[in-house]
Amino acid sequence: MGVDSKRVEADSSAVSTPETPFNLTLSIGPVLLQPLEIHRVCLPPQKTTFQKLKHRLSEIFFPDDPFHRFKNQTFLRKVVLGLHCLFPILQWVPRYSLSTFRSDLVSGLTIASLAIPQGISYAKLANLPPIIGLYSSFVPPLIYSLLGSSKHLGVGPVSIASLVMGTMLSETVSSTHESDLYLRLAFTATFFAGLFQASLGLFRLGFIIDFLSKATLVGFMAGAAVIVSLQQLKGLLGIVHFTKKMQIIPVMSSVFGHTKEWSWKTIVLGFGFLIFLLTARLTSLKRPKLFWISAAAPLTSVILSTLLVYLLKSELHGVSVIGELPDGLNPPSANILYFHGPHLGLAIKAGIVTGILSLTEGIAVGRTFASLQNYQVDGNKEMMAIGLMNMVGSCSSCYVTTGSFSRSAVNYNAGAKTAFSNIVMAGAVLVTLLFLMPLFYHTPNLVLAAIIITAVIGLIDYNAAFLLWKLDKLEFLACLCSFFGVLFISVPMGLAISVGVSVFKILLHVTRPNTVVLGNIPGTQIYQNVSRYENASRVPCFLILGIESPIYFANSTYLQERILRWVWEEEERLKEKEENLKCVVLDMTAVTAIDSSGIDAIYELRRTLLNRSVQLVLVNPVGSVMEKLHHSKILDLFGTNQLYLTVGEAVTDISSSWKA
């Protein structure tokens, strides 16, 4: 291929042909560089509309290609693989061994010691009878062990979902005066939470929960942890008349407005057990091998406090206790689900909000421990497993459950090998429900408050907030909005505000994309941001701009105005050097998509620059962008020497044409 300065025009005939290079010799000052090849910019292979739609839907909904394992398999093997997908338990049961059983047995009993007191405590947090927390620690783990893909996820009630459900339902229905209706709404909200979660997994719409960014969750969980902890002062101080509101001002007013109700006996016992639980937690954090200390501490506290109240009845008279709890298995609740009536909208709204929160927490926890053991957790399977678990649970007197970080951490540290540890935990809860319920009669409420505070205090992640401040101030603002929104307005509104800030951030990035001026790294054909690389120098008579986003209707006008401003600033700069701007080069490598408004913006930009006697050149448009430019006929306007594969080729070819 000889030396030739003629450009090869990009047309539809170049679809399947290889790149056709031709050589140009580039000289910078006295240095003669290697001959530079000028390559054609090709159109992507032609596809039918159906092929394009199929590819696009596949990229959106099936990025992990879930059907690859079924390729080149016999029909019987496909059936077996399908059953494995639906019921992951079938994958590990055939390989189950005695040593694995021993590990799961120890892990299951260990997390049961944590799940029983937490279940009772979290049910009270949701303004539900304590027995509902134990019911929710029995049926859902059994369902998850059949359908879930995580080996270490410990399933049961969690603090955040309990708080949100209790807050949202209590705003309309009283849990004391309308207890039956409140219970029906809680079960119905759980049903809709499960239906929403399973639908996300079935239709592969998990990206919806991604709108709860890390910044949002950090602020929301910290605010919720503060509110939950302050609410527990009712139990720790022995206050009888306490506000049902979940804002910091009413809560603190209620605490200091009822000082006459403070009980010194309750305070001494409550803060004593709180210190014990926090010490156990701190010990396990400092020495992970002693994880069993924090795991056993809640149940130990329940046993000790119950014995103290029982043995010292006369001295501890007035200390509030749980009272009688019904024994027996979960009663069916499908017949009391609330599908008709004025409060149906409330149940649906509470279900969707708690469903999103619990799903986000469950999947995040599952993936965290899966990464530690180098195995994969299928997000869509987890959504369906958690959703079906909650739907079945709502029909068996359970409220919203998901994977708990505290239980999962204990499960992992205790050496769990499979999801059978959840079955062991459910078995321990079953024994408790059948035979041990009378023992909880004298359990004081103060120890439940101490357990809740110890559990939620770990949700306040100072390091994550500090890192957000260092990385992205806008994300830190979203975190603060979420935190203060929960504290001063309400839990749902705090979540809504933080999601709104996150969406605003997305819109800001889309509508105000970044554009940078590129310069040449001396002695190379590399062009980089001149404000980032000090040795990158501008090319005389050229303005080289990099666009770092798709060009849509939402940002096309802004980009057109911003590029013209760059042109005006460059012309002012060159005037001082008595030079003229001759060419604007747009590096479109990062422009992943374009629509009709973006094409119109490029057309208008080209026309405006021609009126200034400035040439517009496009560099490296991706396949989909190139195809749309071709179909819009705008490439015909650009001619044969205004479309290049690299910035270096564009500058070399245009400079040589000027010299010629």
Element (H, E) at 43: none
Q: How far apart are alpha carbons 142 and 429 in whole angstroms?
A: 11
Q: How confident is the model at residue 426 (pLDDT cuts 50, 70, 90)?
A: very high
Instruction: Answer whether 412's CB lies under 8 Å from 372's CB.
Output: yes
pLDDT of 519 strictly over 90: yes
Least confident of 261-275, 302-316, 335-349: 302-316
Instruction: Say how far residue 611 (Cα) sits from the centre of its chain.
Output: 49
Q: How far apart are alpha carbons 584 and 606 in whole angstroms?
A: 10
Return the pLDDT at 66: 72
* Amino acid, res. 422: N
Contacts of 636 (CB under 8 A, 6+ apart): none
Return the pLDDT at 374: 83
Return the pLDDT at 4: 39
pLDDT of 589 strictly over 60: yes
Least confident of 104-108, 126-130, 207-211, 369-373: 207-211
Q: Which of 131-145, 284-298, 474-488, 633-647 has the highest mean pLDDT?
A: 131-145
Return the pLDDT at 15: 35
pLDDT tens per residue across span 427-467: 999 999 999 999 999 899 899 999 989 988 888 888 999 99
Q: How far apart are alpha carbons 358 and 364 in whole angstroms?
A: 10
Query: Residue-wise over 280-293: b if at least 16 C-beta within 10 A, else e?
Result: bbeebeeeeeebbb
pLDDT of 110 strictly over 70: yes
pLDDT of 50 strictly over 50: yes
Return the pLDDT at 11: 38
pLDDT of 364 strictly over 70: yes
The CA–CA distances, whole Å, from 372 to 75, 269, 360 equal 35, 39, 19
Return the pLDDT at 455: 86
Average pLDDT over residues 138-152: 93
pLDDT of 67 strictly over 80: no
Average pLDDT over residues 608-628: 92
Average pLDDT over residues 311-337: 86
The fraction of the chain above a pLDDT of 70, given in percent, is 93
pLDDT tens per residue across span 597-607: 999 999 999 99
pLDDT of 77 strictly over 90: no
Q: How confident is the model at residue 3 (pLDDT cuts 50, 70, 90)?
A: very low
pTM of the model: 0.80
Least confident of 76-80, 97-101, 204-208, 368-372: 204-208
Return the pLDDT at 33: 46
pLDDT tens per residue across span 216-235: 888 988 998 899 899 888 88
Average pLDDT over residues 485-493: 86
pLDDT of 640 strictly over 70: no
Contacts of 592 (CB under 8 A, 6+ apart): 550, 622, 624, 625
Q: How confident is the model at residue 7 (pLDDT cuts 50, 70, 90)?
A: very low
Return the pLDDT at 36: 64
Return the pLDDT at 330: 92
The CA–CA distances, whole Å, from 336 to 26, 173, 176, 350 equal 81, 16, 18, 17
Instruction: Answer whether 166's CB lies under 8 Å from 354's CB.
Output: no
CB atoms within 10 A of CB 35: 12
Q: How confident is the model at residue 477 (pLDDT cuts 50, 70, 90)?
A: confident
Torsion (CA) 121, 123, 128, 131 in degrees, nearest 10:
-90
pLDDT of 35 strictly over 60: no
Average pLDDT over residues 615-620: 93
The fraction of the chain above a pLDDT of 90, given in percent, is 46
Q: How confident is the model at residue 660 (pLDDT cuts 50, 70, 90)?
A: low
pLDDT of 57 strictly over 70: yes
Q: How confident is the model at residue 108 (pLDDT cuts 50, 70, 90)?
A: very high
Q: How confident is the model at residue 19 (pLDDT cuts 50, 70, 90)?
A: very low
CB atoms within 10 A of CB 167: 23
Q: How far apart are alpha carbons 158 and 119 in whole angstroms?
A: 8
Nearest CA to 404 out of 395, 396, 412 is that of 412
Instruction: Answer whether 402's CB lies under 8 Å from 140's CB.
Output: no
Least confident of 158-162, 341-345, 369-373, 648-652: 369-373
Q: How confident is the model at residue 1 (pLDDT cuts 50, 70, 90)?
A: very low
Return the pLDDT at 583: 94
Return the pLDDT at 224: 87
Q: Please, what is the average pLDDT of the chain?
A: 86
Task: For CA atoms 383, 385, 390, 391, give the dihedral sign.
Answer: positive
Least confident of 27-41, 116-130, 215-229, 460-474: 27-41
